[in-house]
């Protein structure tokens, strides 16, 4: 069973402590996956609007959340 599958099963636990810990772990996993895929999209030339549309959020929201985490291009390489 994969980590995500195990966490999803634990999130349905009748023990609130187990379920809530799994929710936290799933949230962290999803945040990491989102960051990875946003970086992937930006590296392939996607606009902030295209990413926002794919994530079903506003352009401003996705930019505010992820722009500070994106590497700045080196102006000497142009």
> Residue 71 above 70 pLDDT?
no
* Dihedrals phi, psi of 73, to nearest 5 degrees: -65, 145
> pLDDT per residue over 13-61, tens digit each?
999 999 999 999 999 999 999 999 999 999 999 999 999 999 999 999 9
Q: What pLDDT, on the 0 to 100 scale, is given for residue 8? A: 87
Q: What pLDDT, on the 0 to 100 scale, is given for residue 77? A: 54
> Residue 1 above 70 pLDDT?
no
> Residue 76 above 60 pLDDT?
no
CA distance 14 to 44: 43
């Amino acid at each position: 069973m994969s980590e995500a599958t195990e966490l999803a099963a634990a999130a349905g636990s009748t023990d609130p402590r187990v379920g809530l810990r799994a929710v936290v772990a799933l949230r962290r996993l999803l945040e990491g996956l989102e960051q990875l895929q946003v970086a992937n999209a930006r590296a392939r030339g996607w606009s902030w609007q295209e990413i926002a549309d794919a994530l079903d959020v506003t352009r401003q929201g996705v930019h505010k959340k992820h722009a500070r985490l994106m590497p700045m291009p080196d102006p000497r390489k142009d």
